[in-house]
Structure 1
Amino acid sequence: MPHAARMEEFIKIVCEQIRFKRARAGVARELMDHMCDQKQAYCWQGLEDTEAEKKAVEQMGDPVAVGMQMDLTHRPKPQWGLFVLTAALLLVGIGLQWALFGQGDPSGQLSVTLIAAAVGVLGMAGAYFADYTVLARAPLVIYWIFLAVSFVHFACLPIINGAGQRGTLLFLLFPAVFAGVAFHFRQKGYGGLLASYGLMALGVLACMRAFSVRLGVLILIACLLLLTLMVGNGQFRVKKRWALPLLYLPVAGGCAVFAWGYWGRLMTAFSSEEGLGYLTTVTRQLISGAVLIGPGTTADSLARLPELDTSYVLTFLIVKFGWIPFFLVVGLFAAFFGYAVFRCLRQTGLLARMTSTAILSTLLIETLFYLAANLGFLELSTLPLPLLSYGGTGLVLHMVLIGFLLSVFRCGSMEGPAPYVSQESGRVQVADGVLSIRFKGFKGPLK
């Protein structure tokens, strides 16, 4: 029988028993590595190559039985807890929109919410069954297509005050797209880090210029967090003491330039009579009259806040229904993010961990921004609250993001463990499972 034909035939029979096709490649690679190691051990014992291969395959046992066992252990893992929490938050959001718009719904906004929820469920299902590893197979193609679609969308939208008014939230998908880009450039040293940083900056600046500064800040924080974790884990094979300043000094400089140009407007955040500080002051005044449960003393003044259904849903909840319902909703969000972070940390595959980190950080930062605005700490309310605030496109995009996150958790364990990469260059390094030792002054092969 030809060289390695027995092992290949064994692996083929095993993989035919595994119903989840995306798990077959990992199983085949694992079995081949194991049999090659065993074959090498037999060769060291003095057996011929053909006989060593035969014994290595026989030692594995019956391929059908092995395949059936592999089928039991390599199955998708639905995250029912996150499904339930997502459904609960979606129902709370629909309930709040019903309370805001009333039973009659003369403007049809509640109908829009229900239609968006139905479309979002379909989008979530599609993302749930999608293969997240496509982000690693064609990262740059996906990146440029995303930017092209965003700008075509922007060009077709009405422009008000220099920004597109619809389609803004499309950039919520950018951190997930960027995770594939960063994965592509990992282990390529400072060149890979700078390439990733440049593509991140291009996307952030495009979002700020064409759509929303606040959304640009959100995706900047999410992408920077991802790059920071990769540098810290040694994925770029660079020195942290040089790489981290390289990441943050340009951002600090950009923030300084922005603050210099908009200093006067930024100062209105501390004013109670005009600009950014006005809405913050009104929000604090309204929630000061809230009670534990039931309408507060300031419930009749909620009309002072614009766009309650989109920008101040939680303020409405506090003033209209009390602090206890508010804390219950916050508890749902805390349970959702806590469980999601727990699942993210348990991912063994590098791409799975990076993708889930990108999506989770986007949703979490967005929620924290919204919470800060609705409690009167800072005016950031133009960003929506996932699953709760009104907006057809926003609701659909958030559900697609959550579906993609669930897809990662469903199949991430089959990606295989991420290779360990040494964080500092030196004489002894471990990378991709290979131990390398550099001897000072040694240039030739070891004999």
Structure 2
Amino acid sequence: MNKKISDSAVSHFLEEVTEQISYKPLRPSIHQELESHINDRIEDYESQGLSHDDAEHKALRGMGDPIAIGTELNEAHKIQKSPRLAFITALLLLVGFVLSCFFQWTPEQMSNGFLYYIPGGILLVFTALKGYPFLIRHRKILASLICLLYLAQIVIFFLTEVSGRRIGIVSTSYFATLLLVPVITVLLYCSRHNRKKFLAAALGCAGVWMLLMYTFGPYHFSDTSGAIFLLSILGTVCFMIHRGIFSGKKKFLYTGTLAFLVLLGSPLFLTPSGRVKTVAFLSPQSAIRTTWDDTYNGILIQKLLSRTPLTSGLELSAEEMMDYGTGAWYFASRDPWQIGINTTWIYTDKQEQEFQDMVKTIRNQGGRPRYIHYQADDVTLWDILPQHYHNNYLIAVCIFLFGWLPGLVLIGAIGLFYWILFSYIRRIHGNLASSLAFSCGQCLLWQGVFYLLGNFGYQYALFPNLPLISEGQLSILLNMLLLGLVFSAYRYDHVIEEPVNYRPITSG
């Protein structure tokens, strides 16, 4: 058994080494390992006949320069910074905050959604600084809490079905579903060496998913968050297979993973609701019925984009804007009963009654027109855009206002963010850290992909958020949490769960 070293020379040596380690929580383990190593050397020299003092002196001399040792260890195990990712993140957050403040005058933004950027930014910084170590220490508790959040959402769905009215916050479904991606990633990683646990985890998650998709799913789960969830899990598992985290022949692992997730994704296409959403996504024009449809919004956006110049904003005459606002440009030759009706002439009770009679006649003919509260002399671009343009169509709005080139610059900045994000994720060496970061990155990526498709007229189910830019209230907190975990996993990659592989530096 090694003797406890308390000599001032050895203590001074260890203190010199550990003072070079910038990540202080790592110092005790390095101190302990070096102390044990020195102790072993002293015992070896004593067994060769040297006195304790001579053995200690020779052991320390053989170890080398303590400052050089500490510097090398710090280089191998130091906290990593990500300045490029931090810069592009701050830039896009600023863009999102400015846009949210700019659209504050819209009626839909009266809830002060831009204020969510403040706690979102705080959450991002806190998660980046403390997230990964906290997750490692408390992963079981955190996984349980997120699963409870998901179960609570299921209860809310059940109560909604029973009561016939919506209960709770709509975005909690989106929030809970995407948070399951990193939870399942950690669960799969921790059970990868135990096939029974792994199969139990995989089949358990699959069973719950399929049950919900074929019961509550047609109304609540089979939306964009479900597609993002499946695509993120698929990408993450393939990444883990590629890195050799799962043992076995990669060809069979890839095939099995793809088949399993196709099975899980089948409700997105096989349920009646899923088929409708898929058709609307792939062929929006075939699914248009009224001006209230998201598919109509998509076709309208495509039409306006086709008329926007390369270097300047969209210019429309008042008559053209009225045609777009009422839907006459599309429905005049298809279904005139869907064209919006003017409400600016209503001032008296008699006029109100006449209006209601007209609406009743139109509805009897199958029409569901919009009520138009503007005229040709005061119509603006904001009047003719889809209702939630301030959140759902920010890229398209940028193109309408400034032209295609500035819009492409914004798209390029978003693409640059994702490129930098995954370049940092690719540098993470730790298996758990890289898997967790990749799963979070996938959630962020697929949100951006679906958002971009929606801005060019191909909307799948409900609009997702554009991470960092479109506010989305609770969703901005979710995305800050996901991005913060990527920052944190990269930051602590060399100091968490990595062994201290000490190699002595001999003095020249």
TM-score tier by shorter-chain length is 0.7 to 0.9
Q: CA deviation at 1:204?
A: 5.3
In structure 1, the residue matched to 2:18 is 15
In structure 2, the residue matched to 1:115 is 115
The TM-score normalised by the length of structure 1 is 0.77
| Aligned with 2:441 (options 354, 360, 377) | 360
1:184 aligns with 2:190: yes
Q: CA deviation at 1:122?
A: 1.4
Give the alignment's Cα RMSD to 1 decimal.
4.0
CA 1:201–1:326: 2 relative to 1, 3 Å: farther
Q: CA deviation at 1:281?
A: 2.1
Q: CA deviation at 1:96?
A: 2.6
In structure 1, the residue matched to 2:363 is none
Q: Which moved more, 1:249-258 or 1:336-345?
A: 249-258
Supply the AA of the counterpart residue of 2:262.
A
In structure 1, the residue matched to 2:128 is 128
In structure 1, the residue matched to 2:234 is 224
In structure 1, the residue matched to 2:144 is 144
Supply the AA of the counterpart residue of 1:278.
Y
| Aligned with 1:282 (options 278, 293, 300) | 300
Q: CA deviation at 1:295?
A: 2.3
CA 1:323–1:315: 2 relative to 1, 3 Å: same
Q: CA deviation at 1:370?
A: 0.7
Q: Over residues 228-258 of structure 1, what are the superposed CA-to-partner deviations in whole Å (9 max), with x where a residue is unaligned?
A: 2222333222233433333222322344454
| Aligned with 1:92 (options 91, 95, 106) | 95
In structure 1, the residue matched to 2:504 is none
Q: Over residues 198-235 of structure 1, what are the superposed CA-to-partner deviations in whole Å (9 max), with x where a residue is unaligned?
A: 35536756698455531022122112222222223332
Q: Over residues 290-338 of structure 1, what are the superposed CA-to-partner deviations in whole Å (9 max), with x where a residue is unaligned?
A: 1223321469446342311222221222222221221121222122221
1:310 aligns with 2:391: yes
Runs of 4+ in 1 over 6 A off after TM superposition: 7-10, 32-36, 48-53
Distance (whole Å) between structure 2 residues aligned to residue 285 and residue 296 of structure 1: 11
Q: CA deviation at 1:107?
A: 4.1
Supply the AA of the counterpart residue of 1:373.
G
Q: Over residues 255-288 of structure 1, what are the superposed CA-to-partner deviations in whole Å (9 max), with x where a residue is unaligned?
A: 4454233235533442513466434322211211
Supply the AA of the counterpart residue of 1:320.
L
1:194 aligns with 2:199: yes
Distance (whole Å) between structure 2 residues aligned to residue 53 and residue 216 of structure 1: 65
Distance (whole Å) between structure 2 residues aligned to residue 203 and residue 139 of structure 1: 21
In structure 2, the residue matched to 1:382 is 463
Contact 2:425 2:486 in 1 (8 A): no
In structure 1, the residue matched to 2:254 is 244
Q: Over residues 121-147 of structure 1, what are the superposed CA-to-partner deviations in whole Å (9 max), with x where a residue is unaligned?
A: 211122122141443444343222211
| Aligned with 2:27 (options 15, 24, 33) | 24
Tell me the secondary structure at the aligned position of residue 310 of structure 1: helix
Q: Which moved more, 1:346-355 or 1:67-76?
A: 67-76
Contact 1:277 1:379 in 2 (8 A): no
CA 1:243–1:317: 2 relative to 1, 3 Å: same
CA 1:365–1:268: 2 relative to 1, 3 Å: closer
Supply the AA of the counterpart residue of 1:386.
P
Supply the AA of the counterpart residue of 2:202.
Y
Distance (whole Å) between structure 1 residues aligned to residue 412 and residue 189 of structure 2: 33
Distance (whole Å) between structure 1 residues aligned to residue 307 and residue 420 of structure 2: 34
Distance (whole Å) between structure 2 residues aligned to residue 304 and residue 256 of structure 1: 34
In structure 2, the residue matched to 1:214 is 224
Distance (whole Å) between structure 2 residues aligned to residue 202 and residue 140 of structure 1: 21
1:233 aligns with 2:243: yes
Contact 2:185 2:436 in 1 (8 A): yes
Aligned pairs (5 A) from 1:158-169 = 159=160, 165-169=170-174
CA 1:240–1:247: 2 relative to 1, 3 Å: same
Contact 2:232 2:442 in 1 (8 A): yes
The TM-score normalised by the length of structure 2 is 0.69
Unaligned 5+ segments in structure 2 are 325-380, 500-508
Largest Rg, 1 or 2: 2
1:59 aligns with 2:71: no
1:332 aligns with 2:413: yes
CA 1:167–1:311: 2 relative to 1, 3 Å: same
Unaligned 5+ segments in structure 1 are 419-447
In structure 1, the residue matched to 2:452 is 371
What is the aligned-residue identity percentage? 21
Distance (whole Å) between structure 2 residues aligned to residue 131 and residue 254 of structure 1: 30
In structure 2, the residue matched to 1:424 is none
Distance (whole Å) between structure 2 residues aligned to residue 353 and residue 35 of structure 1: 34
Q: CA deviation at 1:68?
A: 6.4
| Residue correspondences, number | 413
Distance (whole Å) between structure 2 residues aligned to residue 287 and residue 251 of structure 1: 36
| Aligned with 1:292 (options 296, 310, 317) | 310
Q: CA deviation at 1:84?
A: 1.8
Q: CA deviation at 1:192?
A: 4.9
CA 1:182–1:377: 2 relative to 1, 3 Å: same
Tell me the secondary structure at the aligned position of residue 412 of structure 1: coil
